[in-house]
Structure 1
Amino acid sequence: MPFNLQRKLLVLLGLVILIALSSSVLLRNFVIRDFKAFGEGRMLDRLYQVQAVLEGRYEQSGGWQRDQVANDLVWAWLSGIELRLYDVDNRLVMDTGQALASLSPVMQQRIAASSSRRPLPPESSEFQSYPLFLRGEEIGHLDLQLPHPIYEAFFIRSSNQFLIYSLLGLGLTAVILSFLAARRISRPLQELTAAAEGLANGAPGPRVRAEGNDEIGRLATAFNRMADSLEAQEQLRKQLVSNAAHELRTPLMIIRGELEGMIDGLLPTTPEALQSLHDEAARLATILDGVDELSRAQAAGLQLQRQEFILLPLLHGIISRFSRSAEEQQVTITLSGDQAVTAWIDPDRFTQIITNLISNALKAMPHGGRLEIHLSATPHARYIEVSDSGSGIPAELLPHVFERFAKGKDGGLGLGLAIVKELVAAHNGTIAASSSPGNGTCFRITLPATTGGLHEHD
């Protein structure tokens, strides 16, 4: 079974969970150790206090007085220590039981009530001996017995139970959440992988779901855009091949028919017949040149040499090339706009765009008219409008003017505006057409003001 991304994520999250739970156990051990050390320290402090009190009592009384040390042994008992006090000759002075018995019945009841929850030391426990000194001389010793550490045991038992429950509860919750997280993270990546493999094998297949705005969501969105673009390019390629084959078929059939007629002796081999063949061959060359030009326009985005140009002088230079043709056709060309408007463009490709638009406009006005080119700008975009007063574009053809081999009533290959659209798109711009029959046509080009968002290719 392959070790896929989901299993890798589960293993990684499992290690993180294991480390987190192990740190909890380690922390608990440190807490218990410090708690035991704290309890032992407190008990030693009480023992030293009892020793100091008894030594002071001996000095005050000049010896061991049973009635005076009784209260001290009761106080020691209330502090959790059972004592047996011996003099220097190892004779028992008093123990905790005798001290409690010397109290009044009321005091015994109160002390019994206050210490009822604290168990007595087991009978088998051994006493520990601590000597008592006064001015460097031994005055007796204490045998003491500590009660069973019930509070410490309760704390340790409670902490163990809490640790077990928390490890089971939190560990199980963490495992479930890790599984869900690994599945949620890996599922879109698995879909992306399957879709990418299908795309690589030539089967685009369904698009992946783009959920959220994180890196995976943006990756899915970018993949869908790429798949849409590839699918659209494939459709365009097929359409281009189909349209080109259709356009090439007619002149080829004419050439083939005339050549077969000449071979069979049905048609004379005259200069006129040869001229007809030459015209059809020239038509074939024109079609192929147009397709080649369209292919170069589609690849222009990878070859543009962008520079910042002042548009008005550049437009004026392009218009001057058509001054003679416009004069012969009695077409008036006007140019208007802000002198300081600039744009980042490839001057050669931009010139090709405007040249194609002006050529189409002049073809639409063979008997005179007006051609107006207007330049305007906003902080984020530049606009070039090319308007003519020709016959206009029929309404049914207007939505298709930028498609390949879309021919108007004036004939032609129908590739000029498709080339213009590709070149404008290479500049990260857009072009739109508006027209009404008998009132002329207007093409509006929108270009970005700067190179922001563009891909520079030198």
Structure 2
Amino acid sequence: MNNIWVRLTLAFTSVALVAVGSVGLLVNRAVRGQFNLYVSRGGRVRAAMVAPLFANYYIRNGSWRGVERLMARWKGLGMKCMGGGRMIEWTGERLILVDEGGKLMADSEGEATGRILPPDVVAEGAPILVGGRRVGTLLVVSGRGGLEGKFLDRVNRSLIWAGLTAGGLAILLGSLLSWWIASPLRQLRRAAVAIARGELERRVKVGGDGEVGELGRAFNEMAEALQRNEELRRNMLADVAHELRTPLSVIRGDLEAILDGVYRADLQHISSIYEETLLLQRLVEDLRELSLAEAGQLPLEMEELDIGELVQGVVETVRATAQARGVSLEVEVEQPIPVLGDPHRLRQVLLNLLNNSLQYTPSGGEVKLRTWQKDGRAMVEVRDTGLGIPPEHLPHIFERFYR
């Protein structure tokens, strides 16, 4: 029952069966009501055709005494009887005679006489008039064994068969529709399981612009992001391993040389090993800060400072590197611009930008750093004459591990 296809099939089938059942009941009720009205009117007409026979009986006898014998003869006449000078085809209807007070005088079904029928029932019959006076009422009632009853039985059977057929079609169509709706979801589930196993290249086929199509596109975008992040992570691990390998190799080589007696354990060689440990410490600290930044826990020591003064200090830090590379380094600060920030982190960001610019700007090029104020904000721009970043890489430059 946890299968969405089964649940959708049951839901569609339930709705369809309720709809078919409701329509069947409404149709049955409407047909029965209209047919009963038709039968009632037809019974009144047939009763009016037979009423003259009973009026003649009343005229001959002056009362309804002994009318049961006439009723018995009438029932025994069969399918066709004379009434009002015409042949009447009798189909098993029940004939009831009541006097002017509604008292039951005779019944073709042999029901006990003497009881009073309700006025609304008497009103459905044809009056029996003698000398302009109403002496009784004749009612023709359709029995379940008559043509009317057989007609209703056939209508009910037809409605039942139509309901069963519609219900079967509803189950079939609901099952097919549920399978079609659940198909992309099954594909998504299989793709999600594959990605959980490490198959990050797995994608789903997207069709349509509806909610399911949007879900498929979002899934593919998520899978692409996971695959890209995994590639970046592997590249980053390779870079970290490479960066760590160099100082470790130097430390190991110097220590082995000291142990083998190649180097003396003097201040010069120990200082070299110490410098490499400091490099290792900076690499480890950079990794720690990266993890804190990704977790949103990187501490910031905010204070008021002049961004122009900070920029001047950073430029002086890398000026020697720029001169060694043959790159012109210029700075333009319009005015003192006070800001609230962490000077250490701001300095770190500016150093990264300037070092990247110096690294990718050829000799004879220019790197320019400019600050200005706009709409109450401090603006900092680093511009160089290097190769630049290819357009296809621009959307990814702020992604982690991307190079």
The verdict on a shared fold, with TM-score over 0.5 as the criterion, is: yes
Give the match for residue 279 of structure 1.
275
Alpha carbons 1:82, 1:144 under 8 Å: kept: no
Residues 1:131 and 2:128 aligned together: no
Measure the CA separation in 1 of the matches of 2:242 and 2:250. 13
- Normalising by the residue count of structure 1, what TM-score does the alignment of the two structures yield? 0.57
Give the match for residue 195 of structure 1.
191
Which is further off, 185-194 or 322-331? 322-331
Number of aligned residues: 342
Give the match for residue 247 of structure 1.
243
What secondary structure is seen at the aligned counterpart in 1 of 2:253?
A: helix
Give the match for residue 23 of structure 2.
24
Give the match for residue 212 of structure 2.
216
Q: Unpaired runs of 5+ in structure 1?
A: 51-75, 102-111, 113-118, 306-312, 340-344, 378-382, 404-417, 426-431, 433-458
Alpha carbons 1:87, 1:139 under 8 Å: kept: no
Shift in alpha-carbon separation, 1:386–1:162, aligned structure 2, 3 A: farther
The one-letter code of the counterpart of 2:89 is L
Alpha carbons 2:28, 2:156 under 8 Å: kept: no
> 1:426-437 alignment to 2 at 5 Å?
none
Measure how far apart 1:268 and its partner are. 1.5
Measure how far apart 1:315 and its partner are. 6.1
Measure how far apart 1:249 and its partner are. 1.6
What secondary structure is seen at the aligned counterpart in 2 of 1:39?
A: helix
Give the match for residue 33 of structure 2.
34
The one-letter code of the counterpart of 1:23 is S
Residues 1:356 and 2:352 aligned together: yes
Give the match for residue 167 of structure 1.
163
Measure the CA separation in 2 of the matches of 1:317 and 1:195. 54
Residues 1:371 and 2:368 aligned together: yes
Alpha carbons 1:5, 1:186 under 8 Å: kept: yes
Measure the CA separation in 1 of the matches of 2:316 and 2:99. 130
Shift in alpha-carbon separation, 1:368–1:191, aligned structure 2, 3 A: closer
Measure how far apart 1:84 and its partner are. 3.3
Measure how far apart 1:41 and its partner are. 4.6
Residues 1:332 and 2:330 aligned together: yes
Measure the CA separation in 2 of the matches of 1:189 and 1:46. 66
Alpha carbons 1:6, 1:183 under 8 Å: kept: yes
Alpha carbons 1:132, 1:138 under 8 Å: kept: no
Measure the CA separation in 1 of the matches of 2:52 and 2:201. 86
Alpha carbons 1:304, 1:346 under 8 Å: kept: no
Measure the CA separation in 2 of the matches of 1:81 and 1:140. 11
Measure how far apart 1:152 and its partner are. 4.8
Measure how far apart 1:253 and its partner are. 1.7
Match of 1:178 among 160, 174, 178: 174
Give the match for residue 435 of structure 1.
none
Measure how far apart 1:179 and its partner are. 0.7
Which is further off, 245-254 or 258-267? 245-254
Give the match for residue 421 of structure 1.
398
Match of 1:120 among 89, 99, 103: 89
Measure the CA separation in 2 of the matches of 1:365 and 1:144. 117
Measure the CA separation in 1 of the matches of 2:309 and 2:175. 68
1:253-274: per-residue Cα shift (whole Å, max 9, x none)? 2211221111121221222212
Match of 2:222 among 213, 223, 226: 226
Residues 1:319 and 2:311 aligned together: yes
Measure the CA separation in 2 of the matches of 1:187 and 1:4. 12
Measure the CA separation in 1 of the matches of 2:240 and 2:220. 29
Question: Percent identity among equivalent residues?
Answer: 27
Give the match for residue 104 of structure 2.
none
Measure how far apart 1:238 and its partner are. 1.7
Q: Unpaired runs of 5+ in structure 2?
A: 64-73, 75-80, 102-128, 300-304
CA RMSD across the alignment: 5.2
What secondary structure is seen at the aligned counterpart in 2 of 1:332?
A: strand
> 1:338-417 alignment to 2 at 5 Å?
352-361=348-357, 369=366, 371=368, 373=370, 386-389=382-385, 392-393=386-387
Measure the CA separation in 1 of the matches of 2:151 and 2:5. 42
Give the match for residue 11 of structure 1.
10
Shift in alpha-carbon separation, 1:347–1:210, aligned structure 2, 3 A: farther
Shift in alpha-carbon separation, 1:145–1:239, aligned structure 2, 3 A: closer
Residues 1:267 and 2:267 aligned together: no
Measure the CA separation in 2 of the matches of 1:361 and 1:346. 23
What secondary structure is seen at the aligned counterpart in 1 of 2:398?
A: helix
